């Protein structure tokens, strides 16, 4: 899972809030997401808690949570806390891309939603090579 956020918002405050709520600090990646939904100035990162972060945003579809996986409730709490963490934070994106071979990753599908529409079912349903953009305001 590759997350993308406007570069200037990926600051110490964001990192600390993420670590506090998810138990993991954002880890930078060298990838760029090739989509109009992700700004050219976006930084990408992962929120890996396990050696293999190749499932979904929250596990894999209907499969039960496995040891070390970020609980859906924690991820939803984190997402809902984002608007209060920075006034300029308007959108966050997540791309499910397993082991990309190129540094520029182009999603095959995209979906945009409002934060109020995000739930566990939606997060579990992010498919391979799909970009989910979440508008926070």
What is the SS3 assignment for 50?
coil
Contacts of 108 (CB under 8 A, 6+ apart): 129, 130
Of 130, 33, 36, 26, the C-alpha closest to 122 is 130
Kind and range of the H or E run holding 5: strand 2-6
Q: Give the per-residue pLDDT at 48.
A: 77
Lowest mean pLDDT among 9-13, 26-30, 45-49, 116-120: 45-49
Ordered by start, the domain boundaries in the chain are 2-135
In three-state secondary structure terms, 123 is: helix
Of 50, 5, 53, the residue nearest 28 (C-alpha): 5
Kindly report the backbone phi and psi dihedral angles of residue 56, in degrees, each rounded to the nearest multiple of 5, phi listed first: -125, -170
No. of helices (H) and no. of strands (E), the chain: 3, 8
> Do residues 56 and 94 make contact, with C-beta atoms less than 8 angstroms apart?
no
pTM: 0.88
Tell me, what DSSP letter sits at residue 56? Answer: B
* pLDDT at res. 94: 95
- Mind listing the pLDDT tens digit for each residue in 70-94? 888 899 999 999 999 888 999 999 9
């Amino acid at each position: 899972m590759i997350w993308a956020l406007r570069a200037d918002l990926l600051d110490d405050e964001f990192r600390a809030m993420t670590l506090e709520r998810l138990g993991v600090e954002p880890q930078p990646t060298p990838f760029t997401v090739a989509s109009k939904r992700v700004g050219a100035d976006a930084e990408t990162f992962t929120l890996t808690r396990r050696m293999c972060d190749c499932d979904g945003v929250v596990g894999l579809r209907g499969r039960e949570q496995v040891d070390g996986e970020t609980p859906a409730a924690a991820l939803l709490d984190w997402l809902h806390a984002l608007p209060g963490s920075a006034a300029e934070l308007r959108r966050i994106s997540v791309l499910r891309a397993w082991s990309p071979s190129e540094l520029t990753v182009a999603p095959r599908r995209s979906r945009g939603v409002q934060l109020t529409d995000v739930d566990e079912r939606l997060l579990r349903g992010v498919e391979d090579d799909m970009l989910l953009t979440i508008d926070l305001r």
